[in-house]
Amino acid sequence: RNLKQWDEKTKKARDDSGRPALTVDKLNHPIRQVLNAQRQARPGIKVNPKTSGSAQETAAALMGLVRQIEYDSQADVAYDWAFEQAATSGRGFFRVLTEFAGDMDGPEAWDQEIKIERVLNKYSIYFDPSAVKPDKSDARWCFVTEDIPVEEYKLLYPTSEIASLNDFSSLGDVPETWLSVKSVRVSEYWYTEPVRKRRLMLETGMTALVDVRDQTTVTGQKHQGVPILNHRDVDTRVVKFAKINAREILEGNEDRSAGQDWPGQYIPIVPVIGEELFAENKRIYRGMIRAARDPQRMYNYQASELVRQLAIWGRVPWVGAAGQFKGLEAKWGSANIEDYPFLEYNPVGLDGHLSPPPQRNGMEPPIQSIVIGIQQASEDIKSTTGFFDPSLGNVSNRDRSGRAILALQQAGELGSSNFQDNLRRALIFTGKIIVDLIPHIYDRPGRIVTILGKDDKPNSVMFNQPFTPGTEDQPPQAVPQEAAMPGMPLPENAKLFDLKNTRFSVTVSVGRSHATKRMERDEGISTIIEKVPTLAPVLVGPWLRAQDWDGADQMAERVDKMLPPELQPTPEGQPKIPPQVQAQMQQLMQQHEMLTKLLEEKDELIRTKQLELASKEQQTALIELTKLDVARMRADIERMKIDAAAAQASAEASMQSGEQREQRVHERTMAETEAHDTRLQVFQSQAHERAMMAEQRAMEPSPQGDGAAA
């Protein structure tokens, strides 16, 4: 990859003799194909609970935190670098570490975060050679070396002795050439110690891990006041960390007699393997370049020889009789590099005959043979890397069919898919390390943690403590301790993401990035709208809401308001109303509209009868009677509004409660609806009778009015 493809001895000999030593890199293209394919199929860590129920939501929140850790760490840089090292030379590394979240006051000052960083020099990692697993999760120890300039070393460890770990040096693990001062080699020393623990099954259903030497923690006894139902001893291990030089511990426990405890159970150094072979009782790691080195050298040699032959072909010496060049040596000596219009020579005779003019030696350079050799070397490179012309963008006439091109491209992808699969295995181990660390690092009660959803939108939650979700303007709030006692039901709308008593498994999914998926979604929605225009009102809102430019959400809200009520999305933060409650509310609205229409008819009746009735007493009585009906109607309408609001509030409460609470709310809503229907029917009957009586009175002649007329 660094274009040093010639043996140093061979290159020096060619340079000294003036022969070309060209480097035509034919390996970069197939390597870039593999690296870019990995970047397109961006793998992602996925967390699954080993139990059902509420653990599903906890796993989703935990996976969101893992995504946030990857985002904050720019983990793709570490993944890409380790994958490139593995694909080219057989092995790469990245690491998981913890650091303080920031320089803040209060309890936040001690908060830590998990980070993922790349390992620049893969030759600085020394793993336990007895480890068998590819991810080295069973390694008992690991060294990570670093060369520090002496002056910097004295500032970091002023009381230590200057000692270098030269015994740990190996191929590639040397200070960089730009370091002009003497350096001191220090090393991170990660090691494990076996520990036997006792796991307890408590009466509450919870488990606990205690010291096996405590004889009171057995079945039938109590642990912290809770009866122990069962127990078993388990073999586990603790991980310790120290920073050392050749003679002393620089960082470790308080008295620097040993390493300090690491909160996780894994050494947080993750290897990414290219190809791993085991031969002659030793491991061999190799990437794509190893098998292609000789074909690449053949190509470089043949290309260099072709250039040399073409150069010397114009320098073929002139052959002539002795004396023909006398006095003309300078001109004939530069005839190979200068374009003279003519060349003179001295006519020389031999045995009375003139010798022919000087002529070039007629040797033909082996250009054709060299070109064939170049072509063969190129084919050998394709065979050893597994990438042929269609994969490299070259298509011949005989491979023009789409099926043939696709088959050859898939052959190239299959030939390198083992590298991506090995990265997937490394990420599974990374997920295990992170999931194992999270309960120990994000453990402060009341700590608000930002997580990322599947659409890369941030959200704030709490772990291991009941809380009520926040809004855009309000952070999550911890549930008071008296309201979150063990065994007690959580308050309305409260959540609990319990990481300490839930077991998770880690998998890795391979797919395109969120940006790529969004582009594909936009294209798909555009195609659907183009083919089925009637679906545009339904699809435009979600499409706008998925965009990240300013004003998209406001436009989506305006579009949603144009939809029918049953198609309008539920506002964020509010529960979705069940279909049966929606139907009841719609029925109430229809009844409200019917009563409103009836009220308008009564108002019109008042205005009409005021003109038709001649008797003032009749007019006044009818008006008062009708106004009384109207007042009752208004009271019923207001009662209906209250009933509708109560039904909606009950529906919202039911979504935040369990299934039993939802059933009770539903039954109460149905009872209220039936009672309201009964009241409505009675009211409609009474209103109809009063309206008929009012009309009948309006048609009868007034006695006083008739007598006056007579």
Q: What is the mean pLDDT of residues 271-284?
A: 91
Position 193 pLDDT exceeds 60: yes
Of 5-14, 196-205, 593-602, give the range with the top mean pLDDT: 5-14
C-alpha–C-alpha distance, residues 525 and 531, integer Å = 10
What is the distance between the alpha carbons of residues 449 and 85, in angstroms, rounded to a whole number? 34
Per-residue model confidence (pLDDT) at position 371: 93
Average pLDDT over every residue of 214-221: 80
Q: What is the pLDDT of residues 242-266, one digit of tens each?
A: 999 878 899 999 888 899 999 999 9
Write the pLDDT tens digit of every residue in 360-378.
776 677 889 999 999 999 9
Burial class (CB in 10 A: 0-12, 13-18, 19+), 355: middle
Alpha-carbon distance values, 3 to 7, 13, 58, 200, 297 (Å): 11, 18, 50, 60, 11
- When pLDDT is cut at 50, 70 and 90, the band that residue 294 belongs to is very high
Torsion of Cα atoms, 288 then 293 then 299 then 303, to 10°: 120
In this structure, the chain runs to a length of 710
Confidence band of 215 (pLDDT split at 50, 70, 90): confident
Is the pLDDT at 475 greater than 60, yes or no?
yes
How far apart are the two ends of the chain, measured CA to CA in Å? Answer: 124
Digit-coded pLDDT (tens) for 12-21: 999 998 899 9
Residue 626, classed as helix, strand or coil, is helix
Q: What is the dihedral of CA 622, 623, 626, 632, to 10 degrees?
A: -140
Is the pLDDT reported for residue 427 higher than 60?
A: yes
How many Cβ atoms from other residues are within 10 Å of residue 230's Cβ?
A: 12
DSSP string, 10-30: HHHHHHHHT--------SHHH
Strand stretches in 101-157, DSSP E: 112-118, 125-127, 141-149
Per-residue pLDDT, 33: 87
Structure confidence by residue, pLDDT tens digits, 626-650: 666 667 766 766 776 676 666 666 5
pLDDT of residue 709: 37
The answer to whether residue 512 scores a pLDDT higher than 70 is no
Q: Which alpha helices (H) appear in 390-475, and where do they start and end?
A: 402-441
Report d(CA 655, CA 650) in Å as an integer. 9
pLDDT at residue 451 in the model = 92
Where is average pLDDT lowest: 144-148, 352-356, 597-601, 687-691? Answer: 687-691
pLDDT of residue 136: 95
pLDDT at residue 327 greater than cutoff 70: yes
Average pLDDT of the chain is 78
